[in-house]
């Protein structure tokens, strides 16, 4: 009798251990799913503010979807002459002027240089609202402008 119950107990304990490791495995799987979701999620966020989607969302109205400077605003805002962004390399001896393009988009160091600038200052517009000019906000601004520069590079007419 005694050994029997003991045996049963052992069996039960054994089962509990098996179950327990099952639970652990379950949590491990949950953890992996969570990590995968996290990575995909952040990938999604990055993709959302990719150069292309940002361009279409906030630049195309002036510079045109194809970058040639013929967005709708050209016809509604008097005298607005958005630059043709597909000929930047061509007009710079065949080399894409990334630094200048970056600075033109950011705009903050051109305040004195271009008095009649009509291009918005994306270095300000892209700041994280309520958290402007913090390291994080500036890093986000930099990432977005850099993605835009790369997208504009890819638009260059050969």
Looking at the Cβ atoms of 116 and 158, the one nearer to ligand HEC is: 116
- Complete DSSP assignment for 80-102: -----TTSTTGGGTT---HHHHH
* CA 69/CA 62 separation, integer angstroms: 6
* CA 92/CA 98 separation, integer angstroms: 11
Residue 72 beta carbon to ligand HEC: minimum distance, rounded to whole angstroms: 10
Counting Cβ atoms within 10 Å, is residue 101 exposed (0-12), middle (13-18) or buried (19+)?
buried
Residue 146 beta carbon to ligand HEC: minimum distance, rounded to whole angstroms: 11
Beta-carbon neighbour count of residue 1 at 10 Å?
5
Looking at the Cβ atoms of 111 and 139, the one nearer to ligand HEC is: 111
33-72 binders of ligand HEC (CB under 6 A): 58-59, 61-63
What tokens appear for 97 in the block?
A: 């002027």
* CA 124/CA 133 separation, integer angstroms: 9
Number of shown-chain residues binding ligand HEC (CB under 6 A): 21
Looking at the Cβ atoms of 1 and 78, the one nearer to ligand HEC is: 78
80-139 binders of ligand HEC (CB under 6 A): 80-83, 85, 100-101, 104-105, 117-120, 122
Looking at the Cβ atoms of 122 and 141, the one nearer to ligand HEC is: 122
Q: Which of the ranges 9-17, 41-49, 77-85, 130-138 carries the binding residues for ligand HEC, by CB under 6 A?
A: 77-85
Residue 73 beta carbon to ligand HEC: minimum distance, rounded to whole angstroms: 5
Counting Cβ atoms within 10 Å, is residue 62 exposed (0-12), middle (13-18) or buried (19+)?
buried
Q: Which positions lie near ligand HEC, rule CB under 6 A?
A: 58-59, 61-63, 73, 80-83, 85, 100-101, 104-105, 117-120, 122, 148
């Amino acid at each position: 009798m005694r050994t029997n119950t003991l045996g049963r107990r052992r069996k039960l304990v054994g089962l509990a251990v098996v179950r327990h490791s099952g639970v652990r495995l379950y949590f491990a799987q949950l953890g992996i799913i969570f990590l995968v979701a996290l990575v995909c999620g952040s990938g999604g966020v990055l993709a959302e503010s990719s150069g292309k989607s940002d361009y279409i969302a906030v630049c195309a109205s002036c510079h045109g979807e194809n970058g040639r400077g013929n967005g709708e605003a050209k016809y509604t805002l008097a005298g607005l002459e958005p630059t043709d962004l597909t000929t930047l390399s061509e007009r710079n001896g065949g080399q894409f002027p990334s630094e200048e393009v970056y600075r033109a988009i950011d705009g903050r160091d051109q305040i004195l240089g271009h008095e009649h600038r009509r291009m918005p200052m994306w270095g300000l517009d892209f700041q994280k609202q309520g958290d402007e000019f913090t390291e994080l906000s500036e890093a986000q601004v930099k990432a977005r402008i850099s993605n835009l520069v790369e997208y504009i590079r890819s638009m260059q007419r050969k």
